[in-house]
Each structure stands twice: as structure tokens, then as C-alpha cells.
Chains A and B, each alone.
Chain A
Amino acid sequence: MSRGHHAEKATGKGDPQCFTGEAGEPKFKVGDRVRIRNLPDIFYTRCQVYTRGAEGVVTVVTHESPAPEDEAWDNVDDPEWFYIVRFKQKDLWDEYPDAYANDTLQTEFSERWLESV
């Protein structure tokens, strides 16, 4: 039996490198201020609920890949750009102490989860 098509595609290139060039132009760039959308996630997601609705800044445009919400179902037809977004901790957690107002958190999103602020 042959390996899965995904495994064959990644051989010798790596994943996510094997999706390079499949997502077109990235919609956001480093420094852009974005808000995390609160999309339905009834089946599968890797977008943390604690980030929904929060605003942050794009710090890295990382790579192209199918979104996990698609890839979980073996749908690799529509890769997206991924972005690391930095949040002020105070913007994520109301009770975060003012004494540590500089503290931050970074995590990654596929393009569908971001909207311009």
C-alpha cells in the first residue's frame, strides 16, 4: 500500500515547506494590528478560545499550510498564510496584574482567523 498523498508530498521537502507558493499573497504583514475572529469551530480547530475577539500585532508571517480545520479532514486544497500574533497579556486576561503590564503572549493563526482593526 502506498503512503498517504500528504506524506508523499512532504517527502524531501518537509511540512509546511511542501505547501510553499500555494496560498498567493499574504493579506497581512509584520506590524499590522489584527483582531481574532470568533468563527464556529464545531468539529476541529487550533484557534484558542482565549484569543477570540482579542486584538494584537502580527510579528511573524510564518509559512503557508492548509488550516488545521481543513487538514483534519484531509482537505489540503486551500492552503493559507499563517501569522504569529503578539498580544498584551492585559488584553487577554482582565485580571492580569498592572505591575506586569509589559508581559506579552504570542501564538499563531491561519489567515481566516484574522481581521484588520
Chain B
Amino acid sequence: MAENHKAAPMVDEVSDFEVLEIAVRELAIEKGLFSAEDHRRFAEFAHSIGPLPAARLVAKAWLDPDFKKLALEDGFTASKEVGIDWLNPTGFGTPSDYCDLRVLENTPAVHHVVVCTLCSCYPRPILGHSPEWYRTPNYRRRLVRWPRQVLAEFGLQIPAEVEVRVEDSNQKCRFMVIPMRPEGTEGWTEDQLTEIVTRDCMLGVALPHPERKLDDKRPVHKAANPVHGH
């Protein structure tokens, strides 16, 4: 191989923040704040979380008025009933996030939608990582000022007589929404209801629908140049 040969980069671009994260992480490991094994364990935990516990919390609240009352008054305690202990989700000493979950209930008169204009506050222990769009300046700056227009871009049109209530999560409280239980789900079990409560419903940018489930088949576009033999 020629001496001046340079290997092609593995990725096109590494952002400043990724470089910063690596630098801070390696410094912290060198200083002994945490070990590389701690970091691996935490990263593994972080990649394993998702919105299912929150979906179950909503399904339980739809079925059990006492549990709904608890969820609205004390989201921290209600979370434990769906397997989430905000104090110790990681097995690490400190919580993985601030521990003040506030559950917002949609009614025929009020529709809640959640944003963090300052950065990306999100109830991660119970809802997993935030979607990419939630963290974009576009969503953050526009939702507070033009909520109905932004919701319409998500395909959600809220009638004028319904109050749209934006919750700008900017301190230590974390928020999730209990959407209204849709018609057509009468007699459903907790498991069945959990399947239709998608992440977006719990942020307030979508409404649950009895025929739209977490594991719906995605539309398949037929390949123009299919690989033969597969």
C-alpha cells in the first residue's frame, strides 16, 4: 500500500458535541468519577429504555379510576406500579433524571402538548429517549407560539372549542400526557389498550386510535432493483 494512502473516514462527520462527550467521558474515567464498566452499563441501560411503561400507565389509568387519581397526584409513586422506580432505574447511586413526574390528563375541553424550549427535558425513565424532532430548535421554538399549526403538521387538528395547553418543561418537573381513551375500545384489556398508546400520544402530538398499534406493519415500497435469490 502506498505510504500516502489515507483510509476513507468511517463516518462523514463527527459533531463537536460528540468529540466533547468523548473528551469529558475519558477525563471522568481517568479521574475515577466512574469506571469504563460503569459507563458501558449505563449506556446499555440507556439504550434499552422505551415508552412501554408509560403506555401501560395510561392503559391502567383508563381502566382504574383510583390508579388514575394516583397518577395525576403522584406520578413518581404511580410509576412504580408499571415497574419504573425513578430513584433507581439504573442501579447507580443517583437517579438517571430528576424525579418529579407530572401526569397531565386530556379531557374533552383541554388538550395538552409537551415541549422543552430550553433543551430537551423529557421523562426518560418511563418514556425512553426523546425523538429527534423533540430536540430540534424548530419544534421547540414554534410549538409554544404556533401550537395549532405545529400540531397540524403532525396531522392533528384540534377543534377551536378545545383549549390547547402547551406545557413548556423547563425545570425539574417531567411531563407526560394521558390522552382520552378512544371510542371502539370498549371491553378491551390492559394489554390491548397498552398497544395503542404510542409515544406521540403521550407527548400530545397524536391521538390514540383503536386500529393504530405500536407494532403495526409498515408500508412496503416494492424495490425497483430487487436482489435476486433473497
Contacts and interface: CB of A to CB of B under 8 A. Distances in A.
Interface of A: 1, 3, 7-8, 10-17, 46-48, 50, 60, 62-63, 65, 68, 82, 84, 86, 89, 92-93, 96, 99-100, 102-110
A48 B102 CA distance: 20
B137 to A, nearest CB: 14
Contact of B95 (A10, A84, A93, A110): A10
Contact of A16 (B31, B99, B144): B99
Say whether chain A's binding surface is mostly helix, strand, loop, or mixed: mixed
B32 interface: yes
Nearest to B175: A106
Given A11-B94, A82-B172, A102-B163, 12 more contacts: A1-B31, A17-B99, A48-B117, A62-B171, A65-B172, A100-B160, A102-B161, A103-B148, A103-B164, A104-B165, A105-B144, A106-B167
A63 to B, nearest CB: 6
A21 to B, nearest CB: 15
B24 interface: no
B190 interface: no
Contact of A103 (B93, B100, B118, B147): B147
A14 B95 contact: yes
Contact of B33 (A1, A48, A100, A103): A1
Nearest to A97: B148
B42 interface: no
A1 B95 contact: no
Contact of B171 (A7, A17, A108): A108
B177 to A, nearest CB: 13
A3 B93 contact: yes
Contacts of B31: 1
Contacts of A105: 144, 165-168
Give the one of A1, A106, A107, A108 with max B CB within 10 A.
Answer: A107
A94 to B, nearest CB: 11
Given A102-B163, A104-B163, A63 B168 contact: no
Nearest to B34: A3
A69 B137 CA distance: 22
B118 to A, nearest CB: 6
Given A48-B118, A103-B147, A15 B165 contact: no
Contacts of A99: 160
Nearest to A15: B98
Q: Which 3 A-B pairs have the closest CB atoms?
A: A14-B99, A107-B168, A108-B171
A84 B172 CA distance: 11
Interface in B146-169: 147-148, 160-161, 163-169
- The residue among B100, B148, B171 with the most chain A CB atoms within 10 A of its own CB is B171
Nearest to B119: A46
Q: Which of B100, B169, B172 counts the most chain A CB atoms within 10 A?
A: B172
B86 interface: yes
B171 A82 contact: yes
Contacts of B98: 14-16
